[in-house]
């Protein structure tokens, strides 16, 4: 269904499931967990979109997303509840969009993938950008953007998660190969999981040191969201040092942090299938 230029994805949801909306966060979490178990390769960070489409697990997820229209976001009281809810929703909304729009090679195939695809949650429309930059980044401007997602008079402003936690950047999966591996987050373990997500990314090939060239090669994430990591080169390096495993790479960066050359590698937008 289209509303103007927007495509609202969660228009399904049977009336007989209405009572499930009272505990929708847990119900939706269960449905996402079922998708994860069947179709996510957590080690490789890939999603089997083709097998997921039309599966009973995916159909159950679609039914429950329809109930979001009646969900009271005010039920999410605690920070850990909000983080798990919005991170999981973002990641599965991307999957929903890839399948619904029949994306084959890259989310870049469709103009407005991150702005036009929306969920109706409690009567408010949220795009992927609204969730990432409005909710989880504390209403910050997107990279290369001019405006913040929500104005002060926007009722969605009441739902932002503040202060922003930079570790969210290693949990949000935009459907591309350069994204962090897809995971599944629970309110009970969110702090531990955020730490693990950050450490896993920092110790992955996305952070590489070429010793002979005194070069630190790393993800565009650190350039796009420089402000979130402290706003400057030194703060980014300190963040990396916090999570790097002990060893040659960490020792080198510690001793060369004032002189190492930092380069940000090209982002691979190829679909993570």
Look at residue 39 and tell me if it is in a domain: yes
Of 30, 27, 52, nearest to 40 (Cα)?
52
pLDDT for the residue 9: 87
Of 168, 198, 228, the position where a domain reaches its end is 198
pLDDT for the residue 16: 44
Of 227, 271, 56, 47, nearest to 137 (Cα)?
227
Confidence of residue 21 (pLDDT cuts 50, 70, 90): very low
Residues 194 and 107 in one domain: yes
Of 170, 198, 226, the position where a domain reaches its end is 198
Residues 89 and 208 in one domain: no
Instruction: Give the distance from CA 97 to its chain's centroid.
Output: 14
Residues 61 and 108 in one domain: yes
| pLDDT of 251 over the 70 cut | yes
Residues 73 and 171 in one domain: yes
Predicted TM-score of the model (pTM): 0.91
Asked if 183 and 225 touch (Cβ cutoff 8 Å), the reply is: no
| pLDDT of 30 over the 50 cut | yes
pLDDT for the residue 27: 81
| pLDDT of 254 over the 60 cut | yes
Residues 157 and 253 in one domain: no
Residues 46 and 161 in one domain: yes
pLDDT for the residue 133: 98
**Chain segment 83-126, per-residue pLDDT in tens:** 999 999 999 899 999 999 999 999 999 999 999 999 999 999 99
- Per the structure, the complete domain to which residue 108 belongs is given by 2-198
Count of structural domains, the chain: 2
3-state secondary structure the chain: CEECCEEECCCCCCHHHHHHHHHHHHHHHHHHHHHHHHHEECCCCEECHHHHCCCHHHHHHHHHHHHHHHCCHHHCCCHHHHHHHHHHHHHHHHHHHHHHCCCCCEHHHCCCHHHHEEEEECCEEEEHHHHHHHHHCCCCCCCCCCCCCCCCCCHHHHHCCCCCCHHHHHCCCCCECCCCCCCCCCCCCHHHHHHHHHHHHHCCCCEEEEHHHCEEEECCHHHHCHHHHCCCHHHHHHHHHHHCCCCHHHHHHHHCCCCCEEEECCCCCEECC
Q: How far apart are CA 52 and CA 188, in angstroms?
A: 27
Look at residue 50 and tell me if it is in a domain: yes
Residues 93 and 116 in one domain: yes
pLDDT for the residue 249: 96
């Amino acid at each position: 269904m289209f509303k103007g230029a927007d495509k609202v994805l969660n228009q399904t949801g049977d009336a007989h499931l209405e009572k499930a909306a009272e505990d929708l966060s847990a119900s939706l979490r269960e449905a996402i967990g079922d998708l994860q178990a069947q179709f996510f390769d957590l080690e490789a960070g890939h999603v089997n979109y083709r097998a997921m489409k039309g599966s009973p697990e995916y159909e159950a997820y679609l039914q429950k997303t329809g109930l979001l229209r009646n969900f009271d976001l005010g039920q999410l009281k605690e920070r850990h509840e909000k983080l798990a809810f919005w991170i999981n929703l973002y990641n599965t909304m991307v999957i929903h969009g890839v399948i619904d729009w029949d994306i084959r090679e890259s989310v870049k195939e469709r103009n407005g993938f991150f702005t036009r695809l929306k969920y109706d949650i409690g009567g408010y429309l949220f795009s992927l950008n609204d969730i990432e930059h409005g909710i989880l980044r504390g209403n910050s401007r997107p990279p290369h953007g001019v405006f913040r997602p929500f104005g002060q008079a926007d009722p969605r402003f009441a739902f932002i998660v503040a202060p922003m936690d930079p570790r969210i950047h290693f949990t949000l999966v935009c459907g591309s190969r350069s994204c962090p591996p897809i995971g599944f987050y629970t309110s009970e373990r969110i702090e531990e999981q955020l730490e693990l997500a950050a450490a896993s990314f920092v110790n992955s090939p996305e952070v590489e040191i070429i010793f002979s060239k005194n070069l630190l090669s790393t993800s565009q994430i650190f350039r796009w969201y420089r402000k979130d990591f402290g706003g400057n080169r030194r703060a980014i390096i300190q963040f990396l040092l916090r999570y790097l495993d002990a060893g040659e790479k960490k020792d080198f960066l510690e001793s060369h942090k004032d002189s190492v050359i930092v380069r940000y590698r090209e982002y691979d937008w190829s679909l993570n299938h």
